[in-house]
Structure 1
Amino acid sequence: MPDPRDHRPLIGEPLALDLLNTRWAGTPVNDALTGVEQYGIWLSSNGLSERCTADEAGLEAIRQAREAIELAAQDAREQGELGAPARDGLDAVLAHGRIRRTAGPGGAEDRVEADRPEWLAPWLAADDFLTLLGQGAHRVKQCAHEACILHFFDASQNGRRRWCRMAVCGNRAKAARHYVKARG
């Protein structure tokens, strides 16, 4: 459940895209990761506040992960695959953690371990992005509205979702088309 202090316009996308959505349209661009308190709100909205501490080191690490995922998302959209700089950026984040497999009471258990505490949330976000790519790079999308920079994972059956939120960006586009038609 999102933290009630989280005022971002789109919340609840998969972790990697939710991290990208800490930036949204405005002049200048709005940024929900401008300080430790805002980072703590993002951690809380993503159910990570019990596992991750909001501090300066974590804020710097999550910003690095956001930049790496942004570049990778751009490559996925534009090329359908990741270029070397995008892979290097993700790998730099992923180098700070690993999945450790252990035997649990019911069988195999996977536990994520980070080399330093501030890298757990960034590692989880980068790993989540790779999982999304595995489900189809074409489903990692940026909103089609020209004024929107939000990202979403298109889970629709036909893969044709265009808007981050139909009620906002989709309706704006419809209204703009209607206005042009009515004037013309």
Structure 2
Amino acid sequence: MATSKASSRFLFYGNSLCLDFVNTERMREGARVDLIESADDLWEWMLESGALPLDAVESGKRQLPGEVAVREAKELRAALRGMARQMAAGETVAPEIAEMLNAHLRRRRGYQQLTLGEGGWTRRFHSEDAQGMDFLFTLVDSAIDLLSGGQGLVRQCESNHCILYFFDTTKNHRRRWCCMEGCGNRHKAAEHYRRRKAKDSRHETLDEKTPL
């Protein structure tokens, strides 16, 4: 189900962490808007999305210059957008995108461990790299999971004014909109207006043909 946090400026409609990150670029009043304009924006999204816990975010802030973190994140996001676009179109994902994901995997030094938190058991990566962890690893893992198991279920919102992507987990796999409260309802309202206008036009035509 598509959800978003009521007080958040970010959108979490993707049903996939990597798609939620792709969706940090969105349309607003006809213009493309980037919600990751600074390192503060990036770390805020990482924390709010659950991509990283608080201690990892604080570690990232200490170890990585902000401009480096933002540049690396946006480079990955561009690749993930390309992956989403190709998957939604039923195309084979470009080898260079897979190679970028593999490059992140090669950088990783550490191990996965189960950690019990308030929400239950979660998988967490522990870095053994003295230079600091690859802070994008959860996005890379999400992309690999999607690429290896989400073929045919990645969609782009059908609104002509929306650039958001989502992983369709509905029972019949017929989800069309990023969210019904937004694009879905706007489409329904537009269709209702179109039908009413067509009906009124037909009535006007009949009135003109009816003799006095």
TM-score, with structure 2 as normaliser: 0.71
Residue 183 of structure 1, CA deviation: 1.6
Q: 1:126-141 alignment to 2 at 5 Å?
A: 126-141=140-155
Structure 1 residues 3 and 147 mapped into 2: Cα distance closer, same or farther (>3 Å)?
closer
2:90 is matched with which residue: 70, 79, 101? Answer: 79
Per-residue Cα deviation, 1:25-55 (whole angstroms, up to 9, x for no partner): 0354111111011112101202313213243
- Is the 1:141–1:151 Cα contact (8 Å) retained in structure 2? yes
Per-residue Cα deviation, 1:124-145 (whole angstroms, up to 9, x for no partner): 2021011123332222222111
Structure 1 residues 173 and 43 mapped into 2: Cα distance closer, same or farther (>3 Å)?
same
SS in 2 for 1:7: coil
SS in 1 for 2:174: coil
Structure 1 residues 3 and 182 mapped into 2: Cα distance closer, same or farther (>3 Å)?
closer
- Is the 1:3–1:44 Cα contact (8 Å) retained in structure 2? no
Q: Which amino acid aligns with 2:85?
A: Q
CA distance in 2, matches of 1:79, 1:146: 19
SS in 2 for 1:146: coil
Residue 14 of structure 1, CA deviation: 2.3
Q: 1:2-21 alignment to 2 at 5 Å?
A: 6-10=8-12, 13-21=15-23
Instruction: Note the residue ranges of structure 1 that are not aligned, 5 or more in a row.
Output: 103-108
User: Sequence identity, in percent?
Assistant: 27
CA distance in 2, matches of 1:76, 1:114: 34
CA distance in 1, matches of 2:47, 2:112: 26
Structure 1 residues 182 and 4 mapped into 2: Cα distance closer, same or farther (>3 Å)?
closer
Q: 1:79-118 alignment to 2 at 5 Å?
A: 79-97=90-108, 100=111, 111=125, 113=127, 116-117=131-132
CA distance in 1, matches of 2:20, 2:36: 12
Deviates more, 1:89-98 or 1:134-143: 89-98
Q: 1:23-172 alignment to 2 at 5 Å?
A: 23-26=25-28, 27-47=30-50, 48=52, 49-52=54-57, 53-54=60-61, 55-97=66-108, 100=111, 111=125, 113=127, 116-117=131-132, 119-120=134-135, 122-172=136-186
CA distance in 2, matches of 1:155, 1:35: 32
CA distance in 1, matches of 2:191, 2:68: 46
Q: Which of structures 1 and 2 has the bigger CA Rg?
A: 2
Per-residue Cα deviation, 1:75-98 (whole angstroms, up to 9, x for no partner): 111134312233233333333326
Structure 1 residues 10 and 78 mapped into 2: Cα distance closer, same or farther (>3 Å)?
same
Residue 172 of structure 1, CA deviation: 0.8
- Is the 1:25–1:148 Cα contact (8 Å) retained in structure 2? yes
CA distance in 2, matches of 1:69, 1:79: 15
Instruction: Note the residue ranges of structure 2 that are not aligned, 5 or more in a row.
Output: 114-122, 199-212
SS in 1 for 2:171: coil
Structure 1 residues 68 and 62 mapped into 2: Cα distance closer, same or farther (>3 Å)?
same
TM-score, with structure 1 as normaliser: 0.80
- Is the 1:36–1:59 Cα contact (8 Å) retained in structure 2? yes
User: What RMSD, in angstroms, separates the aligned Cα atoms of the two structures?
Assistant: 3.0
Structure 1 residues 9 and 111 mapped into 2: Cα distance closer, same or farther (>3 Å)?
closer
- Is the 2:84–2:154 Cα contact (8 Å) retained in structure 1? yes
CA distance in 1, matches of 2:185, 2:91: 28
